[in-house]
Structure 1
């Protein structure tokens, strides 16, 4: 007999976003159930952020060492691919979630392993691995935190070619001899970087005219230059017509008729929401679509339903999803206690305003590409009167000491009417750790006249801030 269990909050999805929503609602004293069909910890822990960075960290460390006088000769050899993959396995907990389940349960949340579907307002059915069914009802809220999945384009022969997606690319147990990567976004360039340096011959095919199209143009240009120097074949303005697999060989046919043979094919062309089998139709919402939300992460027209993280399409980044989870948890708790939601409160605790203008991102290639806020093109399109200030990071003393032959570039986009920073982009070795300073400047709308008095330490790469401000003042 199926029993119905009541909770204050039911969370669908136990990735970093769902975990953080549950942690916040439990801390507020709300009974909480969490439903997960795969591994607790989600995409980030097992197939994205963590394993991908475990693959990339040795690549970047070796590249930095090779640019350091006195150390370069000691790191001329290839990476120990087996050791890198073994460490990656440890970082991904060998794709077992016992530790994360233990943490989740330590918060006081009740964990249900199985597939959860809405069955009407505030009602969720969970079908477990053994076929057992649970019915959960939520007194206050249901939070959909199911994330996104890789999208495969409609290419002739692709389904039978057994292509890699980001999951296979980050969990592979060997380096393919030849790897074709389709897509020039973050997943495409990061995995092209990792596998080229781990022993594969990579061909990167990009339909557009540059890599990393959502960043400033120079970011993609510098990353492409580095990939080519590493031996990768990088082609822009290139489209795939069809794909075929025969045994261990994949043949990719381009629009111009050229054929490229490879051992594996990685498709990295986009993401789609995991909402196609969630029972959204039972509450009047289309299945398979992104879920639009307000700044408290509540689904429009459904006061009890929240969509947090990738699933709402505001910012498909783990750190932004966790940020949203903190906002959603606070909003759910406040509404449960009858506290008015004030989007202008001192901390802005109930409004995810950072999703609009201060989103940071680091692309862990060699060189690293890091950005926060708007690009110049985005700022102009939004109607701002702006000016871009560029600086060669290699001219900063800290960069000269960081690496011989340092190559990098910085851009600061300034709102001329308010004289605040709307966006910053850094490209170069070691710039990933700089981006939080840019995020603070953008999110805090710090006036340039105050930034002038934020003195960077010498000799560090962060001195680029002083050079950007000097260049702006010299106009």
Structure 2
């Protein structure tokens, strides 16, 4: 940027790049500590989660799951056999995204006393961020909270197709008659679940052997089974070789030579950091790279730059990014005041949970929820462990969810310390179980103490007792 007489200079204690949930939480914590804070955002305040990810996707999925639950209940099933009201579901989704307007989020920022700068912010040197003709300097810290973007593969014909990414999938104004979903992870399975129920004929193309490969294998197996029963054409071990749009129709050609036709194609094949055009090169970092950070979220080799949320690639989850933001905000405030930073594990300035207690829920039918290490991850890390499994259908509370309940639970036990390293649940309603598991894993609660955490009857939380009994008796 060429500095002119019109350039406006402003100084703050902290400058936050990105006003999604992560950036908002950093700003909230630094303002609570009395630090002056500027927030820079080029799109909508509230970020990906509010407008194109968590909120719209769950608004689409909630009616789907509610209908599936109702259909399992005798007496209620006949009342919900018809199709979902797609127009009403989409209208409710629009309400959840505030119709893609961020007035409410702006009022919240105003309420905490943070200054908002609209526009594309770039680092232009240490502790300096430029937004248009405005130069913001940070006395203590710049926090990069710019998140990630969808990655599209370099396929022949892709530029002619106008493919969907997660953004188009969660904001579409109508259900396509036929939809190809490429991928086997969370976005792919959730969007296949939603659009199949909302009237699309969905073909799910998965390059690997199964779905949700970052969870226990049975999670992907149960979800794939349910998707197939719902009408999704699930094809594993299948790669897309080329795509084209012929007379308005998308044609995808697979590695086996199959031609699959659809109205739209969604690629849910990975994420990349939004760091390619934020001036990392001006401070000696590689543009477009993930930011390497310590456990206080400070970028390696700096004493003023923080990388918080998806940009550090530790856990690409909104709730985990917000957790990091609380840690980073507290660390920035401590360093600004000259207070000692608590660097010990589980300290106020240490994001220890990123390493061992990351929870996630996949809102498919059935839901899949997990925290901590899978059995394979625990074994690869060198722990001496035992997997303890239980059929969730055998829990009295599961029967209240209706006929034909299918689900499974697993806890991974560290046999040397007799604590839990990981827990996975798959089945209707299990999303609400995962926080109890997170407390057990993060708190390193001994199994001997878990015996005294009595689950209420009849709830599916009784699975905790059954898992402990299975561990004791095996």
TM-score, normalising length: structure 2: 0.98
List per-residue Cα deviations over 1:230-286 (Å, max 9, x = no partner): 111000000111000123210000011110000000000000000000000000000
**Is 1:103 the equivalent of 2:108?**
yes
Deviation at 1:403, TM superposition (A): 1.7
Deviation at 1:365, TM superposition (A): 0.2
**Is 1:115 the equivalent of 2:114?**
no
Output the CA distance in 2 between the equivalents of 1:332 and 1:160. 46
How many pairs does the alignment contain? 469
Which residue number in structure 2 is paired with residue 192 of structure 1? 192
Output the CA distance in 2 between the equivalents of 1:104 and 1:151. 30
SS in 2 for 1:159: helix
Select which of 25, 30, 35 maps to 1:25: 30
List per-residue Cα deviations over 1:378-436 (Å, max 9, x = no partner): 00000000000110000000001222110000011000000000000000000000000
Output the CA distance in 2 between the equivalents of 1:229 and 1:317. 29
Deviation at 1:106, TM superposition (A): 1.1
**Is 1:390 the equivalent of 2:389?**
yes
**Is 1:294 the equivalent of 2:294?**
yes
SS in 1 for 2:204: strand
List per-residue Cα deviations over 1:218-239 (Å, max 9, x = no partner): 0000001111111110000001
Output the CA distance in 1 between the equivalents of 2:256 and 2:399. 44
Output the CA distance in 2 between the equivalents of 1:194 and 1:402. 20
Select which of 60, 68, 71 maps to 2:65: 60
Which residue number in structure 1 is paired with residue 272 of structure 2? 272
Output the CA distance in 1 between the equivalents of 2:167 and 2:375. 33
Output the CA distance in 1 between the equivalents of 2:165 and 2:140. 37
Deviation at 1:142, TM superposition (A): 0.1
Which residue number in structure 2 is paired with residue 42 of structure 1? 47
Output the CA distance in 1 between the equivalents of 2:36 and 2:158. 45
Which residue number in structure 2 is paired with residue 124 of structure 1? 129
**Is 1:89 the equivalent of 2:94?**
yes
Deviation at 1:117, TM superposition (A): 0.1
Which residue number in structure 1 is paired with residue 256 of structure 2? 256
List per-residue Cα deviations over 1:94-141 (Å, max 9, x = no partner): 0000110111111100000000000000001002xxxxx100000000
Deviation at 1:3, TM superposition (A): 1.7
Which residue number in structure 1 is paired with residue 3 of structure 2? none
> Which stretches in structure 1 are left out of the alignment for 5+ residues?
128-132
Output the CA distance in 2 between the equivalents of 1:247 and 1:449. 65
Question: Hey, which bits of structure 1, 4+ residues long, moved more than 3 A?
Answer: none
5 Å-filtered alignment, 1:237-248, equals 237-248=237-248
Deviation at 1:70, TM superposition (A): 1.1
Q: Superposition RMSD on alpha carbons, in Å?
A: 0.7
Which residue number in structure 2 is paired with residue 315 of structure 1? 315
Select which of 77, 81, 105 maps to 1:76: 81
Output the CA distance in 1 between the equivalents of 2:344 and 2:264. 51
Output the CA distance in 2 between the equivalents of 1:168 and 1:91. 16
Which residue number in structure 2 is paired with residue 130 of structure 1? none
Output the CA distance in 1 between the equivalents of 2:115 and 2:343. 31
